[in-house]
């Protein structure tokens, strides 16, 4: 954990932004933590330890990403849990993993009034999230792309309602689900707009794990997840900022629908075949991913990490834009050495078609 601060002639921020916009890059941009708390654990802290400590949080994210020479910072660890807690959910903070929302606030139509945005904006822990990103952006000074993280409305509804209850409601009470999505979308939009208003924030990283092909059908994705997601993306685009979406699991059966939602890039789980993804949407979206965060990054060797990155680069050689990311967020126990090898291997060779035409 004592890597020297890297120096490089390449503008990390511009490469990441250009890749998202499917423009030529000088090197492959690399991100490490998909909105999670891996950077925090690298300095022997936990999310629970640093809530409310905006200066320490900003320092940790800035130092870890600078030492590793990552191109993208996705701050906002625990945002969903803190928003859910502000709304009345019970949240348990694991000393090692991500916080768990153990009880929701929704059971029936009568509970929708509990989704009061004022509870969120008046909450000290939520305000800490905004302040830590503001301080981080000030330290970053445009060096790396900053994409604060948050969850999509469909996933948050599932957390506030409970995934099993949501699954039943999709069939038995779709009107209730749509009304819950409308209330939650207002909160999500308010959160993202507050983040986008911070000077130095370039866009938003959105996670929507409950929209996975492992969880809901393509029909339910079209009917419930996609409309609320498109509403959020439209506002981000109107602000002139970029968006990167991550959906866990295998989403091959809904990939072709994603460009119409308006996102700039899609971060893919390790379950998705990259070549297939490039063939389906690689000319309309930036492809991001998708080294296995467990088998390779957590339990592999640095040499195996390098091999996996090389396979990813080969698989996306025909993509218009590519960002190297883990296939999902990193566990606290992923070794620093493996993440360093991941970034180094990603930076070796530019793989964008346009880049290859102008860089030997």
User: Of 143, 155, 142, 125, nearest to 57 (Cα)?
Assistant: 125
Q: What is the helix (H) or strand (E) element at residue 240, kind and residue range?
A: none
Q: What is the helix (H) or strand (E) element at residue 187, kind and residue range?
A: helix 174-196
Helices marked H in 69-173: 79-86, 117-121, 124-140, 153-161, 163-172
Please tell me the predicted confidence (pLDDT) of residue 101.
Answer: 86
- Does 28-358 carry CATH code 3.20.20.210? yes
- Its pTM stands at 0.92
Q: What is the helix (H) or strand (E) element at residue 33, kind and residue range?
A: none
Q: Which two tokens stand for residue 110?
A: 């009568």
CA distance linking residue 194 with residue 204, whole number of Å: 11
Please tell me the predicted confidence (pLDDT) of residue 95.
Answer: 76
Sequence-ordered list of residues with C-beta below 8 angstroms from that of 206, at least 6 positions apart, any chain: 149, 150, 151, 152, 229, 232, 233, 243, 244, 245, 246, 263
| CB-CB contact of 209 with 80 (8 Å) | no
Query: Could you give the maximum distance between any two Cα atoms of the chain, in Å?
Result: 63
Please tell me the predicted confidence (pLDDT) of residue 109.
Answer: 84
For the chain, which ranges sit under pLDDT 70? 1-11, 349-360
Domain ranges within the chain, ordered by starting residue: 28-358
CA distance linking residue 293 with residue 333, whole number of Å: 11
CA distance linking residue 40 with residue 131, whole number of Å: 17
Please tell me the predicted confidence (pLDDT) of residue 10.
Answer: 46
| DSSP of 277-344 | HHHHHTTTSEEEEEE-TTTTTTTS-HHHHHHHHHHHHHHTTT-S-EEEEESSPPPTTS-HHHHHHHHH
| CB-CB contact of 78 with 155 (8 Å) | no
Helical packing angle, 79-86 and 174-196, nearest 10°? 120
Between the alpha carbon of residue 320 and those of residues 65, 271, 277, 286, 323, the distances in Å are: 26, 21, 12, 7, 11
Please tell me the predicted confidence (pLDDT) of residue 351.
Answer: 52
- The neighbouring-strand residues paired with 286 are 265
Sequence-ordered list of residues with C-beta below 8 angstroms from that of 78, at least 6 positions apart, any chain: 37, 47, 51, 93, 98, 99, 129
Strands 203-207 and 100-103: unpaired
Please provide the average confidence, as pLDDT, over all residues in the chain. 91
Please tell me the predicted confidence (pLDDT) of residue 6.
Answer: 39
The 10 Å CB-count burial string (b at 16+, else e) for 99-133 is bebeebbbeeeebbebbbbebbeebebbbbbbbbb
Please tell me the predicted confidence (pLDDT) of residue 349.
Answer: 59
């Amino acid at each position: 954990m004592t890597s020297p601060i890297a120096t490089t002639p390449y503008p990390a921020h511009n490469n990441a932004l250009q890749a998202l916009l499917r423009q030529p890059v000088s090197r492959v941009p690399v991100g490490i933590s998909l909105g999670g708390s891996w950077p925090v654990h690298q300095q022997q802290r936990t999310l629970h330890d640093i809530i409310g400590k905006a200066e320490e949080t900003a320092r940790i994210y800035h130092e870890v990403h600078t030492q590793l020479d990552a191109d993208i910072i996705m701050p906002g660890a625990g945002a969903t849990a803190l928003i859910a807690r502000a709304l009345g959910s019970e949240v348990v903070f694991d000393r090692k993993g991500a916080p768990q929302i153990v009880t929701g606030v929704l059971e029936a139509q009568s509970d929708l009034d509990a989704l009061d945005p004022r509870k969120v904006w008046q909450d000290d822990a939520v305000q800490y999230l905004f302040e830590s990103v503001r301080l981080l952006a000030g330290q970053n000074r445009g060096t790396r792309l900053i994409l604060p993280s948050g969850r999509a409305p469909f996933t948050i509804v599932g957390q506030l309602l409970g995934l099993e209850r949501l699954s039943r409601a999709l069939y038995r009470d779709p009107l209730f689900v749509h009304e819950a999505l409308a209330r939650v979308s207002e909160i999500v939009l308010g959160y993202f707009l507050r983040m986008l208003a911070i000077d130095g924030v370039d866009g938003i990283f959105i996670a929507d794990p409950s929209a996975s092909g492992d969880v809901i059908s393509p029909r339910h994705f079209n009917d419930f997840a996609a409309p609320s997601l498109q509403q959020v993306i439209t506002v981000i685009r109107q602000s002139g900022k970029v968006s990167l979406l991550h959906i866990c699991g295998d989403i091959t059966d809904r990939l072709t629908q994603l460009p119409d939602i308006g996102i700039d890039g899609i971060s893919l789980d390790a379950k998705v075949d990259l070549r297939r993804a490039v063939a389906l949407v690689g000319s309309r979206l930036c492809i991001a991913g998708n080294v296995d965060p467990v088998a390779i990054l957590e339990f592999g060797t640095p040499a195996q990490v390098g091999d996996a990155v090389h396979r990813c680069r080969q698989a996306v050689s025909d993509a218009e834009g590519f960002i190297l990311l883990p296939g999902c967020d990193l566990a606290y126990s992923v070794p620093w050495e493996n993440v360093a090898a991941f970034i180094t291997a990603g930076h070796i060779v530019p793989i964008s078609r346009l880049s290859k035409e102008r860089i030997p």
